[in-house]
Structure 1
Amino acid sequence: MEWFGDPDAWLSRMVIQRGLALIYLLAFLGALREFRPLAGERGITPAPSFLRAVRFRDAPGLLSLGYTDRRLTVVAAAGAALAAAVALGAADAVPLWTSMLLWFVLWALYLSIVNIGQVWYAFGWETLLLEAGFVAIFLGNARIDPPVPTLYLLIWLVFRVELGAGLIKWRGDRCWRRLTCLYYHHETQPMPGPLSWWFHHLPRPLHRVETAANHVAQLIVPFALFAPQPVGSWAAAVVIVTQLWLIASGNFAWLNWLTLLLAVAAVDGALAARHLPLPAPPGGGQGEAPVWFAVLVGAVTVLIAVLSYWPVRNLLSPAQAMNRSFNSLHLVNTYGAFGTVTRQRYEVVLEGTDDPEPGTLTQWRAYEFHGKPGAVHHRPRQFAPFHLRLDWLMWFAALTPGYPAPWLPRLVDRLLAGDRPTLRLLRVNPFPDTPPTYIRARLYRYRFTTRAERRTTRAWWHRTELGDHLPPRRRQQPPGASTS
Structure 2
Amino acid sequence: MGWFDAPDYEFAREVLQRGVAALYLVAFLSSLNQFRVLLGEHGLLPVPDFVEVLRRVPARHRGFSLFRWRYSDRLLAVVCWLGMLLAASVVLGLPQSGPAWVPLLVFLVLWLSYMSIVTVGQTFYGFGWEMLLLEAGFTVGFLGSNEVPPPTWIILLIAWLVFRLEFGAGMIKIRGGSEWRDLTALYYHHETQPMPGPLSRQAHLLPKWVHRAEVVGNHVGQLVVPFLLFAPQPIASVAAVIVILTQLWLVITGNFAWLNWITIVLACARISDPVVHAVLPFVPVDLGADAAASPPWWISIVGLATAVLVVLSWWPLRNLFARRQLMNASFNRWQLANAYGAFGTVTRQRVEVVIEATLDDDPRTAEWREYEFKGKPGDVRRIPRQWAPYHLRLDWLMWFLPLGSVHEDWFHRLLEKLLLADRPTLRLLRRAPFGSDAPRHVRARTYLYRFSTRAELRETGERWVRTPLSIVIGPVSLRQ
Instruction: Give the TM-score range, shorter chain.
Output: over 0.9
Structure 2 residue aligned with 1:407, among 400, 405, 410?
A: 410
Distance 1:161 1:217, change over 3 A: same
Secondary structure, counterpart of 1:41 in structure 2: coil
1:143 aligns with: 147
CA deviation after TM superposition for structure 1 residue 403, in Å: 4.1
Alignment of 1:179-218 (within 5 A): 179-218=183-222
Letter in 1 for 2:348: R
1:467 aligns with 2:470: yes
Q: Give the Cα–Cα distance (whole angstroms) in 1 for the partners of residues 216 and 272 of structure 2.
A: 27
CA deviation after TM superposition for structure 1 residue 284, in Å: 6.3
Q: TM-score, normalised by structure 1?
A: 0.96
Structure 1 residues 386-441: Cα deviation after superposition (integer angstroms, max 9, x where no partner): 000000000001213x6432321011111111111111100001121311011111
Secondary structure, counterpart of 2:327 in structure 1: coil
Q: Give the Cα–Cα distance (whole angstroms) in 1 for the partners of residues 3 and 328 of structure 2.
A: 35
Q: Give the Cα–Cα distance (whole angstroms) in 2 for the partners of residues 59 and 355 of structure 1.
A: 47
CA deviation after TM superposition for structure 1 residue 476, in Å: 4.5
Letter in 2 for 1:433: S
CA deviation after TM superposition for structure 1 residue 115, in Å: 0.7
Secondary structure, counterpart of 1:137 in structure 2: helix
1:481 aligns with: none
Structure 1 residues 156-191: Cα deviation after superposition (integer angstroms, max 9, x where no partner): 000000001100000000010000010000000000
Structure 1 residues 443-462: Cα deviation after superposition (integer angstroms, max 9, x where no partner): 11000001110111111100
Structure 2 residue aligned with 1:452, among 455, 458, 471?
A: 455
CA deviation after TM superposition for structure 1 residue 283, in Å: 8.9
The answer to whether the Cα contact below 8 Å between 1:2 and 1:288 also exists between their aligned partners in 2 is: no
Deviates more, 1:263-272 or 1:441-450: 263-272
1:326 aligns with 2:331: yes
Q: Give the Cα–Cα distance (whole angstroms) in 2 for the partners of residues 305 and 278 of structure 1.
A: 37
1:480 aligns with: none
1:425 aligns with: 428
The answer to whether the Cα contact below 8 Å between 1:167 and 1:315 also exists between their aligned partners in 2 is: yes
Distance 1:85 1:476, change over 3 A: farther
Structure 1 residues 24-67: Cα deviation after superposition (integer angstroms, max 9, x where no partner): 00000000000001000110000011110013731312122211
The answer to whether the Cα contact below 8 Å between 2:7 and 2:288 also exists between their aligned partners in 1 is: no
Deviates more, 1:134-143 or 1:281-290: 281-290
1:18 aligns with 2:27: no
Secondary structure, counterpart of 1:472 in structure 2: strand
CA deviation after TM superposition for structure 1 residue 219, in Å: 0.5
1:268 aligns with 2:279: no
Q: Give the Cα–Cα distance (whole angstroms) in 1 for the partners of residues 220 and 402 of structure 2.
A: 32
Structure 2 residue aligned with 1:299, among 301, 304, 307?
A: 304
Q: Give the Cα–Cα distance (whole angstroms) in 1 for the partners of residues 105 and 146 of structure 2.
A: 15
Distance 1:242 1:89, change over 3 A: same
Secondary structure, counterpart of 2:156 in structure 1: helix
CA deviation after TM superposition for structure 1 residue 282, in Å: 6.8
Q: Give the Cα–Cα distance (whole angstroms) in 2 for the partners of residues 122 and 271 of structure 1.
A: 38
Q: TM-score, normalised by structure 2?
A: 0.96
Q: Give the Cα–Cα distance (whole angstroms) in 2 for the partners of residues 476 and 304 of structure 1.
A: 56
Structure 1: give runs of 5+ residues left out of the alignment: 478-484
Q: Give the Cα–Cα distance (whole angstroms) in 2 for the partners of residues 60 and 171 of structure 1.
A: 33
1:352 aligns with: 357
Structure 1 residues 306-339: Cα deviation after superposition (integer angstroms, max 9, x where no partner): 1111111211112111111112211111000100
1:254 aligns with 2:258: yes
Runs of 4+ in 1 over 6 A off after TM superposition: 281-284
Structure 2 residue aligned with 1:388, among 389, 392, 401?
A: 392
1:72 aligns with: 76
1:436 aligns with 2:439: yes
Q: Give the Cα–Cα distance (whole angstroms) in 1 for the partners of residues 269 and 355 of structure 2.
A: 45
CA deviation after TM superposition for structure 1 residue 356, in Å: 1.2
CA deviation after TM superposition for structure 1 residue 305, in Å: 1.3
Structure 2: give runs of 5+ residues left out of the alignment: none
The alignment's C-alpha RMSD in Å is 1.5
Q: Give the Cα–Cα distance (whole angstroms) in 1 for the partners of residues 37 and 397 of structure 2.
A: 14
Q: Give the Cα–Cα distance (whole angstroms) in 2 for the partners of residues 222 and 103 of structure 1.
A: 26
Secondary structure, counterpart of 2:465 in structure 1: strand
Q: Give the Cα–Cα distance (whole angstroms) in 2 for the partners of residues 245 and 356 of structure 1.
A: 49
Alignment of 1:3-152 (within 5 A): 3-55=3-55, 57=59, 58-152=62-156
Q: Give the Cα–Cα distance (whole angstroms) in 2 for the partners of residues 202 and 404 of structure 1.
A: 37
Q: Give the Cα–Cα distance (whole angstroms) in 1 for the partners of residues 324 and 287 of structure 2.
A: 47
Secondary structure, counterpart of 1:138 in structure 2: helix
The answer to whether the Cα contact below 8 Å between 2:64 and 2:112 also exists between their aligned partners in 1 is: no
